[in-house]
Structure formats: structure tokens, C-alpha cells
Amino acid sequence: MSRNASERGQLDLFHALPGEFAVRDAQDLMSYPFFSLSKSHRTRAIEFAAGGVEIRVEAVADHGMATIWDADILIWAASQIVEARDSGLRTSRLMAATPYQILTFIGRGTSARDYHRLKAALDRLQSTTVCTSIRQPVEGRRHLFSWINEWTERTDATGRPDGIELIVPDWFYRAVLDDALILTIDRAYFDLTGGLDRWLYRLVRKHGGRQRAGWRFEIRHLHVKSGSLSPYKRFAFELRDIIRRQPLPGYRLALEIEARGRRLLAFEPCGQAVDGLVLSGTSGIVPSGTGPSCYQEPGSGLSISKNDRIRGRNLESNSESNSCCAAPTEDKTARGRAQSFETSPRNDPSERPLGTKRGSAT
């Protein structure tokens, strides 16, 4: 835990709101590899570079890298800030809450074991450092921060634990206050147990928000975009298992194989209009908390599309993902392949909306 008196003195304390409300997530965190997808102790850095975006995430050996489960705390923080702002309350990067408030919001238990896990997650978020060019208007500029600047346990007059205070970074706070950078997600997200399931839902929710006909990604491109340490074959196997299980609330997945053999993950909305917000806690609209993710029971095995149409690039609303086969900065071979895909008119981009043809306007 870290304390910085000067920074704390400049911030007003924002107390967490009681009750349950919509779950919000930051789009930047949904689009790029910022977290470990495994609960195992990861210290190997994530390095990602594509379409003018550069990201490097580093961890310390003592705590390991923040995981996608730890990111639930940031989802809680984003939801609190947006709800307070919309209610006309003054918000701040300095937030105070009880462990019970945080744990119940993100669908966890409230035992002593869960409390200790929460503190371990806060440690990982505070010790993980991120360096990125996202939302840096000056070319070559980078923003360096930790997911939590500092956190501390509060105590009452008798010295008994009385909650938690934490400070979120300015990079995250500014994104949360920008409506264009926030999406409402289904509360059933917290029920997803697999790291890849969770990462894929956030990616699908981000890209599928305005695409009535769905979206498609080249599986090799997804592997790089995930930041996963799993080899490609293992990653593809786990992805096929997700397609078989159909766990993502509000979306249906399919494996699509093009005539020339490229394997693509296609997804489309189901259960509600894709343009609308995913309403949290309203099971009548999005059937959350059940095995199937749609009203219709998923068929057995993989869904394979024989449609070999060549579709155009994605809309300008997702222009930051218009690069193909993005590669980590240290992978020169993959980066070279990415450049050849992006500059050659004979190759398709790796991610684009369904239902568009070659030559369509982006």
C-alpha cells in the first residue's frame, strides 16, 4: 500500500454510492490487451503495437500482473463515477468504499477469504504499470501509470477496519467521464469464469455495439490482440470450445472458414437490439445467469459458415482496430506479416463487420 499526502490533499473524497445500478466499462480497456487472462502468477510483460497504438504492461515479481478478474474493481469504480455524475454529485479520483460494497457489486462472496483476495487484487492493480500512446494527441508521447495510484485500509477511532480508500489514475478517470468512451455491459459478465471468456465478451461488446449484422475477426489476429501467453494452437482450441459452449450474454458466436482456408470468429447479437444499451439486472431483456446466452438453445458442436464473401473494413466508429494481424513489438516476423497484410490490396483486413463487401466505404 502506498500513501502520497500531497496528492491526497488535492482530491476530494468521493464516497461510494449504495445500491445497485448499471455496470459500466471503459472502451479502451475492452479493446486492448491490458490484463493477464490467467489467474497464475504472470511477470512477463505485455507488448502490443498496431494502428498507431502502443501498449506495454509490466508487473513486479512480488504481486504479478493484474488479471482480468482484478479489472472488476475498475468496472466498479467506473460504474460509481458515472452513476454519481449522472446524479449530479461531485466525483473524484479518490474513492472510499467498504469491501462489502465492492464485492457484492462484482458478484463475489463476502467472507474473510474474499476480503483477502480483494486486497491481493488491489495490490496487483497498484503494482502493475502501463505505458501507452492511447489518447495522447502529441505524436510519440506516452502516458505511464498504474491502475491504482495508491490504496489504503481505513480504520475508525478504535483502530478497527472501516473500509478502503483508493485513487484511480487520471488516464482512467478522464476516460470514464467521457460518454463516448464508456459502455454499459451485462451484469452476467461477472458470472463468466474463464479469462478468455471475459476478454472475448468485452471485445465483442465493444465492437458489436453498432453492427446489426455482427462482426468477424481473424483468429490469428485475436491471438495477438489478447496478449495471451498460450501458443496459437491452444488459443484456437479454447476459442472453439467457447463457440461450442456459447457463454457470452447477448451474442452468438460462430466459426467461419473462408474459401482459401482462413479461420474467422464471427459473432452477432441475439436476444436484444444491438443498438440499445445492455440493461443490467433486467433478465427479461438479456437472459443473464443461464447456461445458454440466447433465447434459442445453441446447437451441438461448432457453427461453421460456408460464406466465402470478401467483406470490407469496419466502420469509422472502430477505426482504432483497422489494422490487420497486429503483432507484439518484439515479434518482428509477425509484425512484418502484419505490414504485408495491411499494404497489399489482395488481402482482407482481419476484423470487419458482417454484411459488407469489397470496396465498401469504411
Identify the CA nearest to 342 among candidates 360, 326, 362, 319: 326
Domain count within the chain: 2
What nine digits make up the cell of 156? 475508525
Res 348: pLDDT: 42
3 has a pLDDT exceeding 50: no
The continuous run of DSSP H or E covering 163 comes out as strand 161-167
Confidence of residue 360 (pLDDT cuts 50, 70, 90): very low
Q: Which domain holds residue 258?
A: 193-276
Are residues 179 and 217 located together in one domain of the fold? no
Res 279: pLDDT: 41
pLDDT tens, residue by residue, 98-115: 999 999 999 999 999 999
- Single residue among 276, 307, 331 that ends a domain in this structure: 276
Q: Is 198 part of a structural domain of the chain?
A: yes
347 has a pLDDT exceeding 60: no
Spatial contact of 176 and 166, defined as CB atoms under 8 Å apart = no
Res 52: pLDDT: 85
Give the CATH number for residue 217.
Answer: 1.10.10
Tell me the torsion sign for CA atoms 26, 27, 30, 35: negative
Res 177: pLDDT: 92
Are residues 167 and 59 located together in one domain of the fold? yes
What span, in angstroms and rounded, lies between the C-alpha atoms of 74 and 78? 6
Count of other CB atoms within 10 angstroms of residue 83:
17
Report the mean per-residue pLDDT for the chain.
79
Res 227: pLDDT: 94
Confidence of residue 156 (pLDDT cuts 50, 70, 90): confident
Q: Is 340 part of a structural domain of the chain?
A: no
- What is residue 322's three-state secondary structure? coil
Res 216: pLDDT: 87
* Prediction pTM value: 0.76
Chain mean position to CA 119: 21
- The arithmetic mean of pLDDT across residues 179-196, rounded, is 93
What span, in angstroms and rounded, lies between the C-alpha atoms of 81 and 95? 9
Are residues 223 and 200 located together in one domain of the fold? yes
Are residues 99 and 246 located together in one domain of the fold? no
Are residues 177 and 207 located together in one domain of the fold? no
